[in-house]
């Protein structure tokens, strides 16, 4: 804008405004107003320029402030992230540590302390070889060489060594550590203990091998009855290959009349029940029907939810056939035993009667013709009588042997001490005649046939009285518990026997001495053996010639005795069976 100047004064200067000349003041005031206006515009322009300059400076400072705040936030965020990362590393369940390219350990977290047993101050600065078993020392240098070449070792399973020398299976993840210029300066390692996982894998593989090599069909199925696995034995038993059955319904194996079985089985499985040794019938691929025994168990997931079932099926067709044959043979044997028992009674009666007749008539001849027959004839008749009597005794003993099974009764509680007292009553005369001393320890109550067990005691004590030496017989009866059975013993001081005959004497009609030395038919011990075996035990003898004998037999201890008896290591005071022995 052009600067206005006031009008010139004719006197050479600006004209003065005279108060007397009011009309002359108008142009001057107008000029002054224009001047002031121009000054105001100039000042406004200057102020506006200054304001623009200040605003620009403020914007610049605001920008710098925002950039500074962003940088501070970035630094704080990075610091927080670093702190979080350091905390994660320090408290990780895995072992995390770093090392130089020369294998010197630089840092070591708490997970590494737990896994390897070294504290940080013990291991930092030490070579990594402390953690490597001797036979694997070349493994780590190879991994570090790969890192120098820029490779990343993502995952490796190996064995490392703890502070105490024990081995631990670990999975290793190894990464390179680079400096600001991107140069590889070391390595970081993450090691995880996989011992439990390895053991679980071994168990799984072992179980898988067992399943696959099993002779039983092992099949898994869903709760809808859809087959999910099928082992080799299932292929052999049912004829279907795995690819033919997996995904198919288990009903394919069930005959039409047994389809409802599967519904009942699945219902029990849903309730968490197990089906044990259920015998049923299944159909093979070629249509054959097999007798099988199945055991079915529910399968659960990690949360315990039942998701399916495993089934073990065993082909019991041969067993069922054998059971049928055995049942048939048992029935036949029972019939034959009944016939044999009847035959024994018939033979006993039919043979005893003629023998009694022979004996009676020979004795009648001897009396009637006494003095009329020569010595040889009388001797012959004596032989006939003796032979008939022996035959009668033999028939009686055979009948007793045959009756061991035929006269058997249900087992009941037998008080062996009271039973022995009754046996002694039957043998009292023989005991007194031989001046014998018979003693016994406390005897138990067992389950058995009292009549037959009494016959065993009678035969064994009778033999001890019969086969005695020069000294009066000393007989002792004892019993001791041996796990689930009682072991009874009858010990004597008689003539004994050669151990080579220890089994022979329990065979029917087997004798070690002539009848002139010791009478008898050789059937008593055979009867004892048969009775003891019927009671589920065994009988044997321990002896040496001239040193007496100890006969032992066992009886199952199916029911605890009501008496307090010593065990096999206890020593008890023997009690006597004979009044004569007590007097002595």
Give me the pLDDT at residue 430, please: 82
Give me the pLDDT at residue 164, please: 92
Higher pLDDT, 561 or 494: 494
Mark whether 351 and 447 lie in a shared domain.
no
**Cα dihedral across residues 238, 244, 246, 250: positive or negative:** negative
**Cα dihedral across residues 279, 281, 285, 288: positive or negative:** positive
Predicted confidence band at 19 (pLDDT cuts at 50, 70, 90)?
low
Stretch among 30-34, 258-262, 286-290, 388-392 having the lowest mean pLDDT: 388-392
CB 192 within 8 Å of CB 107: no
Domain containing residue 384: CATH number = 1.10.287
Q: Across residues 205-225, what is the average pLDDT? A: 82
Give me the pLDDT at residue 570, please: 33
Give me the pLDDT at residue 253, please: 92
Q: For 416-493, where are the E strands, in sequence order?
A: 437-440, 445-448, 474-482, 485-491
Integer CA distances (angstroms), 427 to 424, 438, 463, 466, 473, in order: 5, 11, 11, 12, 13
Higher pLDDT, 89 or 297: 297
Rounded distance between C-alpha atoms, residue 546 and residue 544, angstroms: 6
pLDDT beyond 90 at 248: yes
For 52-65, what is each residue's pLDDT tens digit? 888 888 788 778 77
Domain containing residue 145: CATH number = 3.30.450.20
Q: Answer whether residue 331 is part of any domain.
A: yes
Mark whether 435 and 527 lie in a shared domain.
yes
Q: Answer whether residue 205 is part of any domain.
A: no
For 421-433, what is each residue's pLDDT tens digit? 888 888 888 888 8
Q: Answer whether residue 152 is part of any domain.
A: yes
DSSP state of 499: G
What percent of the chain clears pLDDT 70, i.e. is strictly above it? 77
Give me the pLDDT at residue 571, please: 32
Mark whether 545 and 572 lie in a shared domain.
yes
Give me the pLDDT at residue 567, please: 41
pLDDT beyond 50 at 261: yes
Nearest-CA neighbor of 214 among 232, 238, 194? 232
Record the tokens describing residue 411, joined without a space.
Answer: 């087992």
Mark whether 330 and 278 lie in a shared domain.
no
Torsion of CA 116, 118, 119, 120, to 10 degrees: -80
Mark whether 297 and 338 lie in a shared domain.
no
Q: Answer whether residue 115 is part of any domain.
A: yes
Give me the pLDDT at residue 11, please: 47
Higher pLDDT, 405 or 219: 219
DSSP state of 247: T
Mark whether 456 and 558 lie in a shared domain.
yes
Higher pLDDT, 434 or 359: 434
Domain C-terminal end among 130, 163, 198:
198
For 22-52, what is each residue's pLDDT tens digit? 555 667 777 878 788 778 888 888 888 888 8
Give me the pLDDT at residue 284, please: 93
Predicted confidence band at 569 (pLDDT cuts at 50, 70, 90)?
very low
Mark whether 331 and 271 lie in a shared domain.
no
Q: Answer whether residue 147 is part of any domain.
A: yes
Domain C-terminal end among 370, 403, 436:
403
Record the tokens describing residue 487, joined without a space.
Answer: 């072991």
Stretch among 15-29, 103-117, 519-533 having the lowest mean pLDDT: 15-29
Mark whether 176 and 260 lie in a shared domain.
no
What percent of the chain clears pLDDT 90, i.e. is strictly above it? 15
Domain C-terminal end among 171, 198, 225:
198
Mark whether 499 and 430 lie in a shared domain.
yes
pLDDT beyond 80 at 140: no
Q: Answer whether residue 223 is part of any domain.
A: yes
The number of C-alpha atoms within 13 Å of 181 and in the hemisphere containing its C-beta is: 2
Mark whether 505 and 537 lie in a shared domain.
yes
User: Residue 95 is inside which H or E element, if any?
Assistant: strand 95-100
Give me the pLDDT at residue 560, please: 42
Mark whether 219 and 183 lie in a shared domain.
no
Give me the pLDDT at residue 433, please: 83
pTM for the complete prediction? 0.40
Mark whether 448 and 570 lie in a shared domain.
yes
Higher pLDDT, 30 or 255: 255
**Total domains present in the chain:** 4
Rounded distance between C-alpha atoms, residue 121 and residue 268, angstroms: 60
**Strand, coil or helix: what is 15?**
coil
Is residue 117 classed exposed, middle or buried when 0-12, 13-18 and 19+ CB atoms within 10 A define those classes?
middle
Stretch among 317-321, 462-466, 505-509, 519-523 having the lowest mean pLDDT: 519-523
Predicted confidence band at 519 (pLDDT cuts at 50, 70, 90)?
low
Average predicted confidence (pLDDT) for the chain: 78
Q: Answer whether residue 35 is part of any domain.
A: no
Q: Answer whether residue 369 is part of any domain.
A: yes
Give me the pLDDT at residue 568, please: 37
Q: Across residues 570-580, what is the average pLDDT? A: 38
Stretch among 12-21, 125-134, 213-222 having the lowest mean pLDDT: 12-21
Domain boundaries, position 383 = 321-403
């Amino acid at each position: 804008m052009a600067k206005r100047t006031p009008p010139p004064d004719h006197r050479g200067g600006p004209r003065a405004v005279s108060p007397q000349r009011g009309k002359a003041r108008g142009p001057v005031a107008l000029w002054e107003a224009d001047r002031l206006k121009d000054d105001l515009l100039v000042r406004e322009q200057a102020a506006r320029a200054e304001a623009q300059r200040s605003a620009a400076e403020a914007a610049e400072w605001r920008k710098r402030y925002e950039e500074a705040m962003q940088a501070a936030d970035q630094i704080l965020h990075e610091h927080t992230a670093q702190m979080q990362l350091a905390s994660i590393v320090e408290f990780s369940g895995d072992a995390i540590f770093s090392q130089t390219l020369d294998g010197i350990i630089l840092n070591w977290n708490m997970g590494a302390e737990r896994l390897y047993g070294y504290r940080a101050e013990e291991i930092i600065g030490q070579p990594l070889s402390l953690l490597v078993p001797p036979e694997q020392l070349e493994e780590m240098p190879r991994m570090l060489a790969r890192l120098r070449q820029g490779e990343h070792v993502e995952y490796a399973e190996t064995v490392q060594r703890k502070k105490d020398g024990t081995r631990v299976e670990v999975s290793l993840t190894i990464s390179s550590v680079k400096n600001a210029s991107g140069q590889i300066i070391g390595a970081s390692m993450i090691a995880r203990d996989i011992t439990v996982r390895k053991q679980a894998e071994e168990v799984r593989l072992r179980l898988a091998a067992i399943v696959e090599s099993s002779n039983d069909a092992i099949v898994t199925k869903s709760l809808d009855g859809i087959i999910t696995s099928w082992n080799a034995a299932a292929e052999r038993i049912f004829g279907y290959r795995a690819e033919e059955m997996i995904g198919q319904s288990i009903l394919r194996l069930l005959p039409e009349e047994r389809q409802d079985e599967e519904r009942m089985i699945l219902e029990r499985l849903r309730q968490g029940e197990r089906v044990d040794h259920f015998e049923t019938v299944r159909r093979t691929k070629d249509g054959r029907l097999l007798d099988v025994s199945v055991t079915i168990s529910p399968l659960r997931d990690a949360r315990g939810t039942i998701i399916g079932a495993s089934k073990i099926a065993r082909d019991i067709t041969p067993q069922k056939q054998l059971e049928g044959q055995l049942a048939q043979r048992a029935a036949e044997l029972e019939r034959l035993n009944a016939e044999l028992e009847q035959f024994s009674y018939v033979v006993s009666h039919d043979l005893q009667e003629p023998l009694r007749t022979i004996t009676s008539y020979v004795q009648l001849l001897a009396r009637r013709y006494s003095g009329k027959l020569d010595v040889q004839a009388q001797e012959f008749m004596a032989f006939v009588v003796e032979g008939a009597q022996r035959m009668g005794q033999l028939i009686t003993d055979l009948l007793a042997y045959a009756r061991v099974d035929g006269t058997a009764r249900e087992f009941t509680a037998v008080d062996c001490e009271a039973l022995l007292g009754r046996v002694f009553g039957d043998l009292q005369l023989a005991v007194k005649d031989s001046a014998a001393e018979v003693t016994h320890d406390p005897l138990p109550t067992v389950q058995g046939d009292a009549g037959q067990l009494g016959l065993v005691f009678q035969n064994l004590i009778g033999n001890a009285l019969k086969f005695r030496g020069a000294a009066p017989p000393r007989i002792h009866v004892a019993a001791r518990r041996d796990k689930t059975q009682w072991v009874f013993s009858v010990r004597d001081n008689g003539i004994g026997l050669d151990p080579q005959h220890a089994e022979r004497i329990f065979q029917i009609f087997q004798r070690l001495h002539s009848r002139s030395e010791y009478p008898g038919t050789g059937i008593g011990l055979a009867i004892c053996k048969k009775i003891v075996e019927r009671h589920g035990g065994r009988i044997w003898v321990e002896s040496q010639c001239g040193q007496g004998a100890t006969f032992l037999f066992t009886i199952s201890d199916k029911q605890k005795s009501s008496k307090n008896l010593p065990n096999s290591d206890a020593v008890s005071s023997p009690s006597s069976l004979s009044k004569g022995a007590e007097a002595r």
